[in-house]
Structure 1
Amino acid sequence: MTVRLTRRAAVIGLLSSSASIALAGAPTQSPRPTERPALWPPAPRPVTRPEVEDLIANARLGGTTGFVIADAQTGEVIERGSAHVPLPPASVTKTLTSVYGLEALGPHYQFRTTLRAEGTITDGVLDGTLILAGGGDPTLVTDDLAAMAEQLAATGLREVNGGFEVWNGALPYINEIDPDQLDHLGYNPAVSGLNLNFNRVYFEWARTAGDYRVSLDARSELYRPEVHMARMRVVDRDLPVYTYDADGLVDDWTVARRALGNDGSRWLPVRQPALYAGDVFRSFANSHGITLPAPTKRSRAPRGATLVTHSREPLTSVVRDCLKYSTNLTAEAIGLTASARLAGEVEDQHRSAQHMCDWIAQRTGARIAAEDHSGLGSDSKVSAAQMVKFLTAEGVEAQLRPLLKSIPLKDENGRPMETPIKIAAKTGTLNFVSTLAGYIHTETGRELAFAIFSANLGERMAAEGSLDDVPAGAVGWNHRAKALQQVLLKRWGRY
């Protein structure tokens, strides 16, 4: 048998032999110790890094934080914690919808809104019906309708002897994205095939002598036409601050007088977006001398000649803005349109979201449970592990990463840091839910994919009965969650 003698074993053996000899004949006086040269340089003292569990505990979020950091090309997991716990993804859902829409519709797809004429036009007079037909465009704004009215006048049309109809059947009508949200939240509007101003109306108030002057308009960059299909009344009560009722063809709002203060404004959701768009277009048509009756809803798809077409920019640009500004209506419209293309007619956003989840599972292998396309509903559940599986699937990063927003690392004073670490990601926020997922270019040049999902569902459930937009404790919790994200990103950025 051959015995391999290592350097360490040899040295230990020599030292042991010397010790035995010395003890055999001990001196009567202890020799003065002398410094001996080191046999090799001492090992460096280990540098300890805080455990991730300690970082999460220090954030004082309660609930659960699930996270995964992995190689973006291979999917190999580098670090993870509570990685398989399904949690609400919030607006990180929009990354799923974006890839779904881009692949189902193509990056050059364009939403279109048209003006059609059913009947005959003679000497500038339409003997028939003018139809404003939506194609699902979620980004149509007041200025676009003004341009369409101008183009209609340029065709020579001066008069309409029949009706004026609006058609929203390109997408299913959805009264509100998440029925569990408060009525007055502007980010939870209706969805339809004909939308305007992200289906929001601008409510403004100012105190006058003993009362309030209120107005509702459809303002955009150039215009602010008055709206007739929505009204607001100031009433004497404490709570709720707002109430909503669909009064026939009118969105009927009330607001508590004590909540208004001196003056202010906010966006309110629109529940009848097709009539809203028709109302605004009618005002612009009238300004060009084309008198139209009040709009009525049309149930069947329009026919007849197309007089004016408004085309949105290619879908890639729409997706980029959706991810940047996190517009819920845009995500729902993209997802619904993609499902209609792949699966035919869909009933609502829940059925469409299931089509999307099935598609994602087949396309990437990731298992997602989404109830909508925007992440507004808190019943959606995704684990950090499945999110990273999606992000690292073949072809996903190439499509998604250029469209994601840059997330700066910040110093202890909250100022952006100068660093070679580059992060492109999507944020998500609900009350007591904070999420972040995307990609990191590290100091060493590695490309990583990550997901951080934090949720205190107990606190969220307890706050559901609150009539406040933001319940007590939610703002501080969200700040702590975002601070934890920064700590983790700095940690991973050094890999």
Structure 2
Amino acid sequence: MRRDRVTVVMTLALLQVFTVVAGASVVILTPGFRAVPPIAEPVRREPLRPAEVLSEAGAATRTPTPAALAARLRSPMAASALGPSMSAVVADARTGRPLYRLRAGEAATPASTTKIITGVAALAELGPDHRVPTTVVAGSRPDELVLVGGGDPTLTRTPSRTSYPRPATLTDLAKATADALKQSGRTRVRLGYDVSRYRGPTLGPGWKPSYVTEGSVAPVVALETDAGRLDPSGRARTQDPAGLAAGQFAQALRQAGVTVVGNPREQRAPAGAAELARVSSPPVAALVERMLTDSDNDVAEALVRLIAMKQGKEPSFAGGSAAVHAALGRLGLASGVQVYDGSGLSRNNKITSQAMVKALSMAASDEHPELRPVLTGLPIGGFTGTLTDRYGDGGAAAGGAGYVRGKTGTLNGVSTLAGVVQDADGRLLAFAFMADKVGSNLAAEGALDRLAATIAGCGCS
């Protein structure tokens, strides 16, 4: 009975999201929708309708049989758009029992589905409630302050009414710092900034040099605002996120009534320096959800370094990768996972579909409630995050809208999709579809969506 709770929770969540969002679908499914030519007849499934009484899920629902599920997946799995190396696993999320396997143990390039693994490791190692501080401490001279980057990937310049959960802001930090200075009778300071919490290269192994200039990620440093964006609402990134953040903090101090002499300079904070002010990030649970919903590369890389620091390892790409592997090992999930970054931008990463589904099933289990944000952060087909513009009306995968929750993964020639879906019998299934040798990413996305929608429409018991 305890194991059935997660299915009830997911069922309620899907019903609630559909009810709330359906009325706004005209707004959400607007320009930017990418129509993929149907691969076959659309998967048919009745829209979600809330019953007067929600029947108990889990034991009251039937598990698909492997033979029936394989028969339903045979045609969509044969799509040429998936390429020659397609691997897949579908499992009962309650028990983890595989129901469908195709090259399940063959390692594939996961792209951004790597973030599922990162999220599991972060929640297990750091805990859902852990927060990341950004502090201001006294410098080595009486008139000196040091802004210390703690690795908060969501730190922003100013508050936003639409941000949830509310991120830490430089505006709040500057006001708190100004108050502390005024209490000691100081209003004139020099500003330094400390980014020593991270080590090693700022770009990951296997990354394209153009990732920063095209706006996919900022150089990975311990101090940044708005993920290193020059404009918080834009894509363009700075090559010096820490310097930009320090300059913005100096300006915020001036607006708070503090005179800042000269330009901020990089320096280490003195050991044991007195703290004047701090702000903290949202909890790790919220960071994981944001990372998965928006496929946020900057959050992913920050989480990996936080895991490394928790384990006493070097907060770098190498140390972070070792830390993630150690965290997975403690969960029994290390087999079939080889990662070199947290975001999935690296083509060096290799993960089996079997390992991915095992991680998702663990996140759905009652034994690991701390991992639940991995599921709640997954985009909802046709409605949220990176799946907003997929599973549209009239497409071959339209039957998956509102039922499929999945993390997308896309690199040139690589298309992946992994997550959970409620089938036509009300059973929660975990899946991973990994195609890392495709000719057209757009066509492959349509084929992957068709597979997930087929599971959603399957009463294959």
Question: Scaled by the length of structure 1, what TM-score is found?
Answer: 0.67
Alignment partner, residue 350 of structure 2: 381
Shift of 1:108: 0.9
Structure possessing the higher radius of gyration over alpha carbons: 1
Give per-residue Cα distances to partners, 1:434-469, cap 9 Å, x unaligned. Answer: 111111211102121110011117x6xxxxxxxxxx
Q: Which moved more, 1:93-102 or 1:150-159?
A: 150-159
Give per-residue Cα distances to partners, 1:219-274, cap 9 Å, x unaligned. Answer: 46xxxxxxxxxxxxxxxxxxxxxxxxxxxxxxxxxxxxxxxxxxxxx533333222
Given that 2:215 and 2:236 are in contact with CA atoms closer than 8 Å, whether structure 1 keeps it comes out as: yes
> Residues 295 and 339 (structure 1 numbering): CA distance in 2 closer, same or farther, change over 3 Å?
same
Alignment partner, residue 151 of structure 2: 136
Shift of 1:156: 4.7
Shift of 1:181: 3.5
* Equivalent of residue 317 in structure 2, options 327, 332, 349: 349
Alignment partner, residue 279 of structure 1: 247
Shift of 1:92: 0.9
- Distance (whole Å) between structure 2 residues aligned to residue 433 and residue 281 of structure 1: 40
Shift of 1:102: 1.2
Given that 2:433 and 2:448 are in contact with CA atoms closer than 8 Å, whether structure 1 keeps it comes out as: yes
> Quick check: which one's helix share is greater?
2
Question: Scaled by the length of structure 2, what TM-score is found?
Answer: 0.71
Shift of 1:186: 1.6
Identity %: 26
- Distance (whole Å) between structure 1 residues aligned to residue 147 and residue 303 of structure 2: 21
Shift of 1:335: 1.3
Pairing 1:68–2:107 present: no
Alignment partner, residue 22 of structure 2: none
- Distance (whole Å) between structure 1 residues aligned to residue 124 and residue 71 of structure 2: 41
Q: Secondary structure at the match of 1:136?
A: coil
Amino acid at match of 2:425: T
> Residues 367 and 83 (structure 1 numbering): CA distance in 2 closer, same or farther, change over 3 Å?
closer
Q: Secondary structure at the match of 1:131?
A: strand
* Equivalent of residue 192 in structure 1, options 208, 211, 221: 221
* Equivalent of residue 492 in structure 1, options 442, 455, 459: 455
> Residues 347 and 147 (structure 1 numbering): CA distance in 2 closer, same or farther, change over 3 Å?
closer
Structure 1 unaligned residues grouped into runs of 5+: 1-46, 121-126, 203-218, 221-265, 460-476
> Residues 340 and 484 (structure 1 numbering): CA distance in 2 closer, same or farther, change over 3 Å?
same
* Equivalent of residue 83 in structure 1, options 104, 126, 150: 104
- Distance (whole Å) between structure 2 residues aligned to residue 173 and residue 201 of structure 1: 24
- Match runs of 1:105-254 below 5 Å: 105-118=126-139, 127-143=142-158, 144-157=169-182, 163-172=190-199, 174-177=201-204, 179-182=207-210, 183-202=212-231, 219=232
- Distance (whole Å) between structure 2 residues aligned to residue 401 and residue 440 of structure 1: 10
> Residues 306 and 443 (structure 1 numbering): CA distance in 2 closer, same or farther, change over 3 Å?
same
Shift of 1:161: 5.9
Shift of 1:305: 2.4
Shift of 1:402: 2.4
* Equivalent of residue 304 in structure 2, options 331, 335, 344: 335
Shift of 1:317: 1.2
Give per-residue Cα distances to partners, 1:130-166, cap 9 Å, x unaligned. Answer: 0111111010011111222223233353756663110
Q: Report the count of equivalent residues.
A: 363
Q: Secondary structure at the match of 1:405?
A: coil
Give per-residue Cα distances to partners, 1:34-78, cap 9 Å, x unaligned. Answer: xxxxxxxxxxxxx99967454344343434211111111222221
Comparing both chains, which one has the higher relative contact order based on Cα–Cα distances under 8 Å and sequence gaps of 6 or more?
2
Q: Secondary structure at the match of 1:339?
A: helix
Alignment partner, residue 441 of structure 1: 422
Structure 2 unaligned residues grouped into runs of 5+: 1-67, 159-168, 383-389
> Residues 492 and 176 (structure 1 numbering): CA distance in 2 closer, same or farther, change over 3 Å?
same
Pairing 1:406–2:380 present: yes
Given that 1:86 and 1:384 are in contact with CA atoms closer than 8 Å, whether structure 2 keeps it comes out as: yes
- Distance (whole Å) between structure 1 residues aligned to residue 144 and residue 323 of structure 2: 37
Shift of 1:337: 0.5
Given that 1:89 and 1:453 are in contact with CA atoms closer than 8 Å, whether structure 2 keeps it comes out as: yes
Given that 1:59 and 1:480 are in contact with CA atoms closer than 8 Å, whether structure 2 keeps it comes out as: no
Alignment partner, residue 442 of structure 2: 479
Given that 1:70 and 1:77 are in contact with CA atoms closer than 8 Å, whether structure 2 keeps it comes out as: yes
Given that 1:165 and 1:298 are in contact with CA atoms closer than 8 Å, whether structure 2 keeps it comes out as: yes
Given that 2:137 and 2:146 are in contact with CA atoms closer than 8 Å, whether structure 1 keeps it comes out as: yes
- Distance (whole Å) between structure 2 residues aligned to residue 429 and residue 187 of structure 1: 12
Alignment partner, residue 55 of structure 1: 76
- Match runs of 1:451-490 below 5 Å: 451-456=432-437, 477-490=440-453
Given that 1:177 and 1:190 are in contact with CA atoms closer than 8 Å, whether structure 2 keeps it comes out as: no
Give per-residue Cα distances to partners, 1:333-362, cap 9 Å, x unaligned. Answer: 1111112102x1315213311321233134
Alignment partner, residue 250 of structure 1: none
Shift of 1:318: 1.5
- Distance (whole Å) between structure 2 residues aligned to residue 333 and residue 167 of structure 1: 16
Shift of 1:379: 0.8
> Residues 85 and 419 (structure 1 numbering): CA distance in 2 closer, same or farther, change over 3 Å?
closer
Alignment partner, residue 5 of structure 1: none
Given that 2:147 and 2:192 are in contact with CA atoms closer than 8 Å, whether structure 1 keeps it comes out as: yes
